[in-house]
Amino acid sequence: MRQTGQRRARREDGGGHPATPRANLYDDVTRRMVAELEAGRFPWVQPWDASPNLPRNALTGRRYSGVNVLLLWAAGIEGAFASASWLTFRQALEAGGNVKKGERGTTVVYADRFVPDAEKARAQQSGEDARAIPFLKRFTVFNVAQCEGLREGLATDPPPRPEPEIIPHAEALVAATGAEVRIGGGEAYYTQQGDYVAVPSRAAFADANDFYDTIFHEISHWTGHPKRLARDTLRDYHKTIASRAREELCAEISASYIGAALGLVPTVRHADYAGHWLAILREDNRAIFRAASQASKAADYILAFEDAAAVADQAGRAAA
């Protein structure tokens, strides 16, 4: 997989590359995701010896989002990088260092829209709204482990958290969302009709990590309710197996994003959908982009409650 999305280090303008046909870039990323699934690996699930943090830019501290999280996680796992911090070739120079000779970079993508001048003129004459054209641009980034001589003070990964039986910051975030979570029974699910989440008791799980991963998977479904993000894959969940698979893929990836932000290790909750995920990705080269984008929105919606969760966590620690 590494050779399809990576380039050797060389001097270039910040890792940016001129326009590549959008379909080719969609195809390239989708092929990489399909290859991972065919090999029995889930690109959004971290092994125990890889960094479980959300990838971030080491110079700006900004987290990557959408499909870029999956691409960088996969590259981090393959390269056995201990860090989740990345830089473009130019940023490594700005940080006082450089990319080591011969290192291969990883391709990430930037999606946006622009309005051509001709379209602006047409809209002005017709009085209609100007139509924006979507585009993708690719960049090459390198893990900080592939660099040398970088100055101190760059954005670094948070230290790993010890895993207690109850994880206070995860518990606080669940409570802060306001989602109704019913503990007990033998199933984990979210019901749109009742608008609540149900999960088995903590004692039914091998460890607390799996317990909270499961809760955040189900709360990710909860974000799709019409009064929240109004996600169409949740709305159509019971219509077809493809709709269910798309919604489960969104929740799987969202839960892994949330878990990474909280220092948990993502785990697969619905591996039985792997065949359907493969079929979707083979049929539609934009499916993983949509799933990752929806997952980022769901995770951001939940993590927006993090400040309230931190206050509750501190209060709990003080009381203890």
Sequence-distant (≥ 6) Cβ neighbours of residue 238 within 8 angstroms: 244
Give the relative orientation of helices 274-283 and 22-38 as an angle to the nearest 10 degrees: 160
The H or E element spanning position 120 is helix 117-126
Q: What is the mean pLDDT of residues 140-152?
A: 95
In sequence order, the 6+-apart residues with CB closer than 8 A to the CB of 311 are: none
Confidence of residue 132 (pLDDT cuts 50, 70, 90): confident
Q: Are 34 and 283 in contact (CB under 8 A)?
A: no
Q: Residue 216's closest CA among 184, 285, 150, 169?
A: 169
Domain map of the chain by residue range?
2-148, 168-319
- CA 268, 271, 273, 279 torsion-angle sign: positive
- Taking only the tens place, the pLDDT of each residue in 4-31 is 344 445 433 344 444 445 557 778 888 8
Q: How many residues does the chain have?
A: 320
- Find the range with the poorest average confidence among 65-74, 116-125, 201-210, 265-274: 265-274
148 against 256, higher pLDDT: 148
**Mean pLDDT along residues 136-160:** 88
Name the residue with higher pLDDT: 216 or 200: 216
What whole-number distance in Å separates Cα of residue 184 and Cα of residue 203? 10
Q: Which residue has the tokens 């969302």?
A: 177
> Is the pLDDT confidence value at 301 over 90?
yes
3-class SS of residue 109: strand
With cut-offs at 50, 70 and 90, classify the pLDDT of residue 294. Answer: very high
pLDDT band at 164 (very low <50, low <70, confident <90, very high): low
